[in-house]
Chain A
């Protein structure tokens, strides 16, 4: 199916564990983004990528790692999860910076 998909939709993990959130898009869009959404903070940019093998830090990158070896995939890894990383994570992709960004359904992550 065409579109952008995130997995898992829900995840509970323990403090200190490594967890990876997956993001896959079928359009071959150049740009991909990871955001976290928290009450009172809106969507904050974690990492973004303008093309395969090109990634850059956003507003809140600490504690996160990304890679983009293939255009269609942009996984987000929490190296050692902390409670402050409990959030809803959204992945998005766009063809160009001046075109619509398409969002996944989000991953609700709880760190206990």
Chain B
């Protein structure tokens, strides 16, 4: 079935540690790929996106993500996490197939940052 999978429901890291959030998708063609962040009680904000070109993309707030076609993955990384990064992170794919064009999200990964 077509889907977006974020295997980690909840991740806890210490401030200053590195971070990697995983995302896999299962669509036939390479979709448009996004990472969004949601702070408590807020809407969603785009961190970064990929749809072609360099497979390592830079985003806001020091985040980056790497597209790996062979693994159908688009993992989000940050070298040094700040306490303000505590939030929920969503991977999303934009899919255009058979006349249907939609934006589908994973279930999210909640990030807790310990001081």
Contact = CB atoms under 8 A, between A and B. Distances in A.
Contacts of B103: 31, 33, 45, 48, 92, 94, 97, 101
Interface stretch (B11-19, B41-49, B70-78, B79-87): B41-49
Nearest to B48: A100
A50 B32 contact: no
B43 to A, nearest CB: 4
B32 A97 contact: yes
Range for the number of chain B residues in contact with chain A: 20 to 34
Residue among B32, B51, B92, B105 facing the most chain A CB atoms (10 A cut-off): B105
Contacts of A33: 102-103
A46 to B, nearest CB: 11
Interface of B: 6, 9, 32, 34, 42-44, 46, 49, 51, 90, 92, 94-96, 100-108
Interface stretch (A14-22, A65-73, A103-111): A103-111
Contacts of A42: 6, 90, 105-108
Interface of A: 31, 33, 35, 40-45, 48, 50, 56, 58-59, 90, 92, 94, 97-101, 103-106
Contacts, number: 62
15 contacts: A35-B105, A40-B107, A42-B107, A45-B104, A48-B101, A92-B103, A94-B103, A97-B95, A100-B46, A100-B49, A101-B44, A103-B43, A104-B43, A105-B42, A105-B43
A40 to B, nearest CB: 7
Contacts of A50: 101
B106 to A, nearest CB: 6
Contact of A31 (B9, B95, B101): B101
Contacts of A101: 34, 44, 46, 92, 103
